[in-house]
Structure 1
Amino acid sequence: MVEMSMLPEECISYIISYTSPMDACRSSLVCRLFRSAADSDVVWGRFLPHDLLHILSELDLASSMDSLSKKELFSRLSHRPVLVGDDRNRSFAIDKRSGKNCYMLGARRLSIEWGDTPRYWKWIPNWKQSRFLEVAELGIVWWLDIKGWIETNMLSPKTRYAAYFVYNLNVEYNGFEERPVKLRVYLEGQDGNGDETSVFLKPPPNMQQQFRERADGWMEVEMGEFFNDGGEEDDHRVLAFSLFDFDGNTTKSGLIVEGIEFRPKGIDR
């Protein structure tokens, strides 16, 4: 039986590349040979997204890619979310533990019913906790309807994802303790519109908390989950998602929308 330390460094790198970013970091602590192998571009090139060049082009970083090692590039993209796209209304990050793609669509990338009517919604620039240029703040509505879409080839293939509605409530919020909102996530073109769940964005005092407080100061509720069976560049399926409450008897106000985030199931923010 051949000991690992007897193998050429290239072979060790190849083996480590089939583990995970966390395992690669642990391997670098074994010895100098393993550190060199674990830090190689062979390893970290496999952990980077399959659509890396497209992501870099949206970040205007393609020209500087040659100056970074693959590990340095991974570190930069997993350290904190970065804004992408011409309108900077999407954010991207690599999950540092799994190497999977994480995206958030900001409020401006969502379809918000009456979102351009100041009586119902206001767009607040430079919100203190937001990663985006502006957030949406609900004035007052009777019907709440927020929806959007994302192409599955933006997400990592063969990965179970969950979608999360990221929000806050101002001090004058109303209507969210009285009624739950309905949530839905589904692939367009499939039979039906997916399973529907109900969640209180602000549960009444006698109910268990259904939202989770995030480290970035926002709250989130899970909208649903799905397995991204495809996800390659030529896969053009569309994932649809919605949050709604069509009860016309209860006014709702004070909701602040950051966006909707897609990340591998079981990973917290």
Structure 2
Amino acid sequence: MATSLNMLSEDCISTIVSLTSPPDACRLMLASSSLRSAAESDIVWAGFLPSDLPQLLSRAHTQLSLSSKKDLFFQLCDSILIDGGVSRFLLNKVSGKKSYVLSSRALSISLSNEPNHWTWTAHPTSRFPEVIELKTISNLEVEGRISTQDLSPNTTYGAYLIIKVSDRAFGLDSIPSEISISKEESLVTNTAFLCPLDDQKQQLGSLFFMNRRQMMEKRVVQGEGRRPNKRGDGWMEVELGEFFVGEKSEMVKMNLMEVKGHQLKGGLIIEGIEIRPKY
């Protein structure tokens, strides 16, 4: 293939490569020194950047290097702070599809400004200047919102609550919370725990909270009781659900709440909600 492409002009090669993918362009840069210039050109990498790039750059929290479209693409793949530093935007290195991380400041969290219930603090491993830590509360409610207009069309997205559990945590492993994803005409619910359980705690919790669990199961249809999964960055994530982005612009609401359990809980640290392509 490289030999055949070498017979074409650089502009023609760049146009062809722009119809492929970022990994294909990177492979061509390594295939031949004569193809490198064409594969690195702005013609190629402009095609991998979002069509609403000017609006995204206007939301950037800091100045970006615009020396080349290729460099800009990989800056966006590393993620950038936007909207005054309360959210992050990033591109998938393989597909070029959009992802967002909404910080805890960008979420609606019940009683988040009440110092008796929550505290805002810096965390050394967070991607944001501050996170929110739960002191104590009975009814937990967290909501994030994003417009499908900001996402890549014809794509299935997953929404993930990014959390840590402090050494002082209590009440997080007893009763599941209700999680949901809603758009204008659809609502999908499930259940999730906010803390992994060891076998001993699970047995004790099952005995002590059996009646409350049964009440919960009646209120939530076919709940799976999802558990947090460990991430490579040291945080954990709980999948709140998934949704499909079509051509129509809709507002997506992502919720987690305890369903009238009135179980006191504390020690939950919330970094935010990540919205990223699933497939």
For the superposition of Structure 1 and Structure 2, which TM-score range results when normalised by the shorter chain? Answer: 0.7 to 0.9
**Contact 1:168–1:218 under 8 Å retained in 2:** yes
Q: Rate the CA distance shift 1:244–1:96 in 2: closer, same or farther, 3 A.
A: same
Q: Find the counterpart in structure 2 of residue 244 from structure 1.
A: 257
Counterparts of 2:64 and 2:266, CA distance in 1:
46
- Partner of 1:241, secondary structure, is strand
* 4+ residue segments displaced more than 4 Å: 60-64
Aligned to 2:30, the other structure's residue is in SS state coil
2:80 to 71, 79, 82: 82
1:17-96 paired onto structure 2 within 5 Å: 17-59=18-60, 65=66, 68-78=67-77, 80-86=78-84, 88-96=85-93
Unmatched 5+ stretches in structure 2 = 203-224
Give the structure with the larger helix fraction. 2
Name the SS for the 1:195 alignment partner: strand
CA contact (8 A) 1:203 1:209 kept: no
> How far apart, in 2, do the equivalents of 1:100 and 1:18 lie?
15
For the structure 1 residues 101 and 129, does the alpha-carbon distance in structure 2 shift closer, same or farther, using more than 3 Å as the test?
same
Shift of 1:136: 0.9
Q: Distance in 1 between matches of 2:44 and 2:35?
A: 12
Partner of 2:176: 180
| SS of residue paired to 1:172 | strand
Partner of 2:240: 223
CA contact (8 A) 1:9 1:33 kept: no
Match in the other structure for 1:203: 196
> Is residue 142–residue 246 contact of structure 1 (8 Å, CA) maintained in 2?
no
How many positions carry a matched residue from both structures?
Answer: 254
Distance 1:226 1:141, change over 3 A: same
Aligned AA (1:203): P
* CA-based RMSD: 2.3
Match in the other structure for 1:134 = 130
Pairing 1:155–2:154 present: no
SS in structure 2 at match of 1:6: coil
Percent of aligned pairs with the same amino acid: 40
Say if 1:178 and 1:204, in contact at 8 Å, map to a contact too: no
1:118 is matched with which residue: 102, 115, 118?
A: 115
Structure 1 residue 209, shift from structure 2 partner: 8.3
Q: What SS does the corresponding residue of 2:260 show, helix, strand or coil? A: coil
Q: Which has the larger radius of gyration?
A: 2
Conserved 8 A contact 1:77-1:93? yes
The one-letter amino acid paired with 2:113 is D
CA gap of 1:108–1:61, structure 2 versus 1, over 3 A, is closer
Contact 1:107 1:257 in 2 (8 A): yes
Q: Would you say the 8 A contact 1:53–1:62 is kept in 2?
A: no
- Give the C-alpha shift of residue 32 in structure 1: 2.2
Name the SS of the counterpart of 1:140 in structure 2.
coil
C-alpha spacing 1:61/1:199, structure 2 compared with 1 (3 Å): closer
Provide the rounded CA distance (Å) in 2 between the counterparts of 1:43 and 1:106. Answer: 33
Q: CA deviation at 1:33?
A: 2.9
Is 1:10 matched with 2:11? yes
Structure 1 length normalisation: TM-score?
A: 0.87
